[in-house]
Amino acid sequence: MRLLIIVTHQPSGKKDPPYDLYDCATSWSSGYVSKIETKTTSTEDGDIIVLVLEDEVASKVNRDFLQGLLKAWQGITEIYVAAHGRAYYAFRSLMGVEKELKQVVRLSHEERDQLYKAIKSLIKSPTGDNFTKVLEAMKPNLVRRLSILKHRIAHLFLPIDIDLQGLMETGFREDYWKEVADAWRGGKALGTLTEARKLVYGSQGVEDSVKKVVEDAKSSTTDNKKRQEIETKWQQVQNILPQSGNLPNNEVNQILQDLGCQCGRDQVKQMCSGKSNPFHQWFAQLIGALDELRDAIEQAQGGGSRRE
């Protein structure tokens, strides 16, 4: 027997489709488990669905809640959780504590989100087929998500890398430097760091981030060795591109600062003399670290490593 816990946002009290999941469960049984209010139902196959509100569980959920559910429905062998907001972290902290808890994923209330759509269909029609569709939608396509983020990050820095390579090949010819400096004036080169950090660490208005992928990957496996490997590779990414402040490589900081300044030609030329290109080296290290992180996540998901 399988148990699906859905943690949804508090209803707004008015007709508000993205946040009406709880109100849609009108015919479900109401009750309490470990003092947490729940709505429950089951499919024709005997799988259990428990619906709770984020505000109810975000600060209250603990091992007693899961044990209460296991006691209420004897024979549960697998527990899956789709949780909104703070409740996601509360349930994720229980991964590895209860062997039945197999997966914890985030639940958004965006109507275009496949998991949200599958859950809404299940609440309206709790059939075995719809239950299976929710579990399928919960399967993390983490490798693909990280690949997309890596390519977006690469595309931010690639124009800088190309311009520096062109400058080096022309011996930092003055007319070419003027063209490049004009293109990056106004702090645009440093601005790429800000945009990249949003993709790595997350920010308001950014739907996904490397940090989110890492958290989802760690919460989707109970193998501590694999989780540690993911954390190690994630730390490498953070070391190369910290969340704030200057980069560890001072030459890269200086290149990004001087690239949009007409008076910065001699300094950048000095740092990129001969075959030395500190920015390219840093850029390659960042992409390499993201590749290694992706490989670790893919291994944790049961696949072999590959590079896209």
Q: Assess whether 198 and 241 both reside in one domain.
A: yes
Q: Assess whether 7 and 132 both reside in one domain.
A: yes
pLDDT in tens, 125-151: 999 999 999 998 887 678 878 988 998
Q: Assess whether 165 and 220 both reside in one domain.
A: yes
Which helix (H) or strand (E) segment holds residue 104: the answer is strand 101-106
Report yes or no on 306 lying in a domain.
no
Q: Assess whether 113 and 152 both reside in one domain.
A: no
Q: Assess whether 66 and 167 both reside in one domain.
A: no
Q: Assess whether 158 and 49 both reside in one domain.
A: no
156 or 99, higher pLDDT: 156
pTM beyond 0.85: the answer is no
In sequence order, which residues have a C-beta less than 8 Å from that of residue 214 and are 6 or more positions away?
Answer: 230, 231, 234, 293, 297
Q: What is the CB-side half-sphere exposure of residue 70 using CA atoms within 13 A?
A: 13
| End-of-domain residue from the set 84, 106, 138 | 138
Report yes or no on 305 lying in a domain.
no
CATH of the domain at 80: 3.40.50
Bridge-based pairing of strands 29-33 and 2-8 is: unpaired
Structurally, the chain folds into a number of domains equal to 2
- Domain residue limits at 284: 142-300
Count CB neighbours of 228 within 10 A.
12
Q: Assess whether 76 and 148 both reside in one domain.
A: no
Q: Assess whether 115 and 178 both reside in one domain.
A: no
pLDDT in tens, 52-70: 987 777 666 677 888 888 8
| End-of-domain residue from the set 118, 138, 158 | 138
pLDDT in tens, 157-170: 999 999 999 999 99
Q: Assess whether 156 and 173 both reside in one domain.
A: yes
Q: Assess whether 107 and 161 both reside in one domain.
A: no
Answer whether residue 3 shows pLDDT above 90: yes
